[in-house]
């Protein structure tokens, strides 16, 4: 039952209710179990970047307005400072020890785990998610239980150094459309990625916050949330919608030597805002320790539903009702460096005002007097007792259901890797058995920051400086998998394919059989036309780990290059089973059917090519290759106007794209538009003559002569 915000004279209340029923006879009291639920997660939002929580940095009037109507939990903690595991914690009401997801890559939420949308579907809710960026792509398993999982954020390119994302307004707009269509009760999740690095707020926020672009991103998100809240107000949905707003984690911004997040687990990255608005419940602020795993059971309490078994959190409403009951123990971890560099694993717990970080160099903090964690009390603390408490907590939270990341290599895969030279007979153990102070994240922080500095140098155009830095990192830490991958991406993006392949092979020599390096190598080989080797490697990757759609997509590309269209389509189909919103895959399917059409004039193949190219553009309007494919298809059937339009669109997206430029010129010449055609040919020769074969240069020269001849006045 909804708690009323007033407690005055009962007779007066009864008279008011009777009078209101005469004025609004069709309006009924909204039952608790009919509330909608809106979950908003703002990626990488620090606690102190919400104005009502800390007014020093940025104004957030819309977040503040929500908070003023909500239950504010000022001591809320994430279990992970990483996007995918943190959202898995929220949606399952469990910790990574239970569901097994500890990093953004190499993990997928198993279908056997219950999520909030799955549970609410059973209660008659319509469900939808609107995702801002690649780390929450459907391929990672968080789409289960959603009627709609809108992750149309654009095309993920494995060779890029930053995630593809879409701005908050592009996430919120389709969410409002979906919400506006539903009169049935619903659960919607909106994920906003903007505060994540790189910090690129739009105007006027990039000017207003020029000295603090991170805060500019937060201010932009706040403004877009104002649009959402206004919409809910106008639709009269605020009075019947539970709203939960939190961050998946924060951002270090250089504190403790960490530039961003995912490395340490200090409060700058695991202390998060958490607001819960429940219609009819008065706003209050609470200082009890709570965590992300508490959100699922809280949704159940707010809706008057029984929490399903297996949840590891506790309803925030129950915690509040318990009064002075002892604060629960909260588990946290940061395992990215452990999983991707073989550095010491970071695990810890918060109990009351005590925070224990279990690394080779132990850390203990009193959060009551030292919430910024400046004074390490490990030297005067009973570390043995703290370690025992953490081990008991881990044992209590651990589940045999958790799949984790499989480090063992399939025996058949191991045999074939040996034959290819990517693993030796005396293959070393993949993980150290013990970690000492030299493996501590604090000790190795300079290497972590040197790698990030190398990436930053690359983005300023200094490839040689970036290369030098990252090679120094690799020399110091040969197990630093991400360093090999980043350097390979840099080489690939600058056309140095041979070096891109060589650095990955060097990584595999130092880290035999590593599936991440193998996958990257197979992708780079396929992307550079070395399809035979790509097929061998990607087939092995798929046998070892069959949930990465990129492996299937690039295996399809390799088979396409080898002329095996049937196997190409088979692998593209597998990729779509894993990621139905992958524009690149639809484009590649379109390319296969286009080739079939060009070879045999099969009208069905033309229709399939057209359909798949258009599907790719529907998902990602910047998919320039699909524009080029449509241009080629329409040109072949004599629909020159449409061909010209799509080639121009491809060039508008990617001005240095060679294929549509010359084809556009030829078609314009056929249409009698010699002046425009000449511009295309001259542009093509200027930009690409250094890399095209001699015969192609001669052909372009002939086309230029032909275009000029048509422009010359006749007798």
**In which region does residue 345 sit, left (phi positive, over 0), alpha (psi from -120 to 50) or beta (all else)?**
beta
- Distance between alpha carbon 91 and the CA centroid of its chain, in Å? 15
Q: How confident is the model at residue 22 (pLDDT cuts 50, 70, 90)?
A: very low
Q: In the prediction, which pLDDT does 130 show?
A: 98
pLDDT tens digits for 523-550? Answer: 999 999 999 999 999 999 999 888 899 9
- Read out DSSP for 261-325? SSS---HHHHEE-EEEE-TTPPPEEEEEEEEGGGHHHHHHHHTTPPPPTT--S--HHHHHHTTTP
pLDDT digits (tens, 9 = 90+) for 279-312: 999 999 999 999 999 999 999 999 999 999 999 9
Band of pLDDT at residue 480, cut at 50, 70 and 90: very high
Tell me what pLDDT residue 30 has.
72
Mean pLDDT across 497-519 = 94
DSSP letter for 77, please.
Answer: E
pLDDT on residue 322: 85
Q: Is the pLDDT of residue 4 over 70?
A: no
- Can you tell me which residue has the tokens 């579907």? 121
Averaged over 163-184, what is the pLDDT? Answer: 94
- Does residue 692 surpass a pLDDT of 90? no
Averaged pLDDT, 57-81? 98
pLDDT mean over 156-178: 81
Pairing status of strand 363-366 against strand 354-358? antiparallel
% of the chain residues with pLDDT over 70: 90
Is residue 541 within 8 Å of 515, Cβ to Cβ?
yes
3-class SS of residue 127: strand
Calpha distance 655→664 (Å, rounded): 13
Residue 20 has pLDDT above 50, yes or no: no
Q: Which two tokens stand for residue 703?
A: 């086309």
Confidence label for 712 from pLDDT (cuts 50, 70 and 90): confident
pLDDT for 149: 96
Q: Using alpha carbons, list the distances in angstroms from residue 13 to 30, 278, 610.
A: 17, 22, 65
Q: How confident is the model at residue 217 (pLDDT cuts 50, 70, 90)?
A: very high
pLDDT at 413: 64
Distances (CA, A) of 637 to 251, 595, 601, 634: 54, 14, 9, 5
pLDDT of 334 above 70: yes
pLDDT of 698 above 80: yes
State pTM to two decimals.
0.89
Kindly tell me if the per-residue pLDDT of 517 is higher than 50: yes
Locus of tokens 């150290």: 432
Residue 15 pLDDT greater than 80, yes or no: no
Report whether pLDDT(10) > 50: no
State residue 423's pLDDT score: 61
Question: Could you give the 3-state DSSP secondary structure of residue 648?
Answer: helix
Residue 332 DSSP code: E
pLDDT tens digits along 617-659 = 999 999 999 999 999 999 999 999 999 999 999 999 999 899 9
pLDDT of residue 24 exceeding 90, the answer is: no
Domain ranges within the chain, ordered by starting residue: 34-396
Q: What is the pLDDT of residue 545?
A: 86
Predicted pLDDT of residue 600:
86
Do residues 329 and 348 touch, judged by C-beta distance below 8 A? no
> What is the pLDDT at residue 6?
29
Pairwise pLDDT comparison (695 vs 297), residue with the higher score: 297
Residue 424: what pLDDT? Answer: 59
Residue 432's pLDDT band, with cuts at 50, 70 and 90, is confident
pLDDT value of position 690: 80
Fold of domain 34-396: Alkaline Phosphatase, subunit A (3.40.720)
Is a pLDDT exceeding 70 seen at residue 178?
A: yes
Return all residues near 50 (Cβ < 8 A) that are at least 6 apart: 60, 63, 64, 67, 218, 273
Looking at residue 428, its pLDDT comes to: 46
pLDDT > 90 in the chain, percent: 82
Q: What are phi and psi of 454, to 5 degrees?
A: -65, -40
The pLDDT, as a whole number, for residue 259 is 95
Q: Tens digit of pLDDT for each residue in 549-606? A: 999 999 999 999 999 999 999 999 999 999 998 999 999 999 999 999 999 878 899 9
**Is residue 319 over pLDDT 50?**
yes
């Amino acid at each position: 039952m909804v708690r009323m915000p007033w407690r005055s004279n009962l007779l007066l209340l009864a008279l008011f209710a009777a009078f209101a029923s005469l004025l609004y006879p069709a309006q009924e009291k909204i039952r608790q179990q009919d509330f909608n639920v809106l979950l908003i997660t703002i990626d990488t939002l620090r606690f102190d970047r919400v104005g009502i929580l800390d007014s020093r940095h940025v104004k957030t009037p819309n977040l503040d307005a929500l908070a003023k109507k909500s239950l504010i939990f000022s001591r809320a903690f994430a279990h992970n400072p990483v996007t995918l595991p943190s959202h898995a914690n929220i949606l399952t009401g469990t910790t990574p020890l239970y569901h097994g997801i500890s990093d953004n890559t190499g993990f997928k939420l198993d279908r056997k785990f219950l999520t909030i949308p799955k549970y609410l579907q059973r209660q008659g809710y319509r469900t939808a998610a609107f995702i801002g960026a690649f780390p929450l792509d459907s391929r990672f398993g968080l789409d289960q239980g959603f009627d709609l999982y809108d992750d149309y954020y654009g095309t993920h390119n494995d060779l890029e150094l930053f995630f593809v994302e879409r701005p908050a307004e592009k996430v919120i707009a389709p969410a409002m459309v979906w919400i506006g269509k539903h009169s049935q009760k619903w659960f919607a999740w909106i994920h906003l990625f903007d505060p994540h690095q790189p910090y690129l707020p739009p105007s006027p926020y990039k000017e207003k916050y020029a000295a603090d672009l991170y805060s500019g991103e937060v201010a932009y998100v706040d403004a877009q949330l104002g649009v959402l809240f206004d919409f809910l107000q106008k639709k009269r949905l605020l009075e019947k919608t539970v709203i939960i707003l939190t961050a998946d984690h924060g951002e270090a911004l250089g504190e403790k030597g960490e530039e961003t997040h995912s490395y340490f687990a200090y409060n700058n990255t695991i202390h998060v805002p958490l607001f819960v608005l429940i219609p009819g419940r008065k706003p209050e602020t609470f200082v009890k320790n709570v965590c992300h795993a508490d959100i699922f059971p809280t949704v159940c309490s707010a809706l008057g539903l029984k929490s399903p078994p297996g949840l590891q959190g506790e309803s925030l409403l129950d915690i509040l009702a318990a009064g002075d009951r002892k604060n629960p123990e909260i588990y946290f971890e940061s395992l990215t460096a452990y999983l991707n560099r073989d550095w010491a694993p970071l695990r810890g717990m918060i109990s009351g005002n005590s925070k224990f970080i279990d690394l080779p160099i132990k850390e203990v903090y009193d959060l009551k007097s030292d919430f910024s964690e400046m004074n390490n009390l490990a030297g005067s603390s009973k570390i043995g007792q703290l370690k025992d408490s953490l081990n008991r907590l881990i044992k209590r939270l651990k589940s045999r259901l958790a799949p984790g990341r499989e480090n063992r290599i399939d025996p058949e895969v191991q045999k074939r890797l040996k034959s290819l030279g990517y693993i030796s007979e005396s293959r070393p153990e993949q993980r150290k058995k013990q970690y000492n102070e030299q493996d501590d994240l604090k000790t190795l922080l300079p290497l972590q920051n040197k790698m990030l500095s190398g990436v930053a140098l690359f983005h300023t155009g200094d490839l040689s400086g970036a290369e030098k830095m990252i090679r120094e990192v690799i020399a110091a830490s040969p197990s630093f998998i991400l360093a090999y991958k980043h350097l390979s991406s840099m080489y690939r993006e600058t056309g140095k394919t041979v070096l891109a392949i060589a650095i990955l092979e060097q990584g595999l020599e130092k880290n035999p059989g590593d599936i991440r390096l193998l996958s990257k190598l197979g992708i780079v080989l396929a992307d550079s036309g070395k399809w035979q080797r790509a097929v061998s490697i990607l087939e092995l990757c798929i046998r070892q780990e069959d949930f990465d759609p990129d492996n299937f997509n690039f295996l399809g590309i390799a088979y396409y290059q080898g002329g095996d269209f049937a196997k190409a389509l088979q692998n593209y189909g597998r990729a779509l089973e894993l990621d139905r919103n992958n524009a690149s895959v639809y484009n590649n399917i379109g390319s296969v059917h286009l080739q079939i059409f060009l070879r045999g004039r099969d009208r069905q193949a033309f229709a399939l090519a057209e359909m798949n190219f258009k599907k790719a553009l529907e998902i990602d309007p910047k998919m320039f290759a699909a524009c080029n494919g449509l241009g080629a298809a329409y040109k072949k059937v004599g629909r020159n106007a449409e061909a010209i339009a799509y080639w121009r669109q491809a060039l508008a997206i990617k001005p240095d794209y060679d294929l549509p430029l010359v084809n556009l010129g030829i078609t314009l010449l056929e249409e009698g538009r010699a002046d425009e055609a000449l511009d295309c040919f001259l542009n093509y020769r200027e930009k690409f003559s250094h890399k095209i074969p001699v015969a192609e240069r001669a052909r372009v020269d002939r086309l230029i002569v032909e275009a000029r001849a048509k422009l010359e006045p006749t007798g």
